[in-house]
Amino acid sequence: MKKGYIEIGKRDKTVFIKIIGRADFQISPSLKNFIHQCLEQKFRSFAINMKDCTTMDSTFMGVIAGTSGILRERGITKLTLYNITDHNFNLLETLGISLFLNFAKKPPEEPAKYSSLILNILSQREMAENVLNAHTSLIEISEGNKVKFKDVVEYLKEDLKKKKSSDKNRS
């Protein structure tokens, strides 16, 4: 499976994001941080090109769901995804996330130039927190997701408690 990465570009007031390869827990923190930085810079439109995204894991989808919620709170209705494959659309639909996103039938006019987003390197604790937050977002949008991810969330909470106490013991 091709390791995922992200390319970014800006045109007018829109941020363009290309997800290439596998969209997973490893690239999702970088995507989330990048969108937050763009919000601070007053960007209000986000278009994600999913053409070359081979698949998505639940952490990535949880980050998309959580980010969509933050955008709505700030008055930006939804993220827009385009060029999405049937496989990836079905993944989003299965978890109820598709209801919180826009899907463009016609791709927008993209910027002339893209650059690679530098992926954040997280500690084990930070990665566990990101995965927990993503799955908590999934649970909040659907009762079915609560059943699917209840054990994952409980495991992650326990794991984080252990990591935090071992961090304190090292200090």
What string of DSSP letters covers the chain? -PPPEEEEEEETTEEEEEEEEEE-TTTHHHHHHHHHHHHHTT--EEEEE-TTEEEE-HHHHHHHHHHHHHHHHTT---EEEES--HHHHHHHHHTTGGGGEEEESSPPPPPS--EEPPPPP--HHHHHHHHHHHHHHHHHH-HHHHHHHHHHHHHHHHHHHHHHHHHHHH-
pLDDT of 20 over the 70 cut: yes
Interatomic CA distance for residues 61 and 135, integer angstroms: 9
| Residue among 87, 75, 90, 88 nearest 48 (CA) | 88
Domain covering 5-119 in this structure, CATH number? 3.30.750.24
- Asked whether the predicted pLDDT for residue 88 surpasses 60, the reply is yes
Average pLDDT over residues 116-145: 92
Question: Using 50, 70 and 90 to split pLDDT, how confident is the model at 72?
Answer: confident
Taking the domains of the chain in order of start, what are their residue ranges? Answer: 5-119
Q: What is the pLDDT of residues 129-138, one digit of tens each?
A: 999 999 999 9
What pLDDT shows up at residue 171? Answer: 58
pLDDT range class, residue 17, cuts 50, 70, 90: very high
Most confidently predicted of 44-48, 87-91, 139-143: 87-91
Q: Quick one: average pLDDT of 16-39?
A: 95
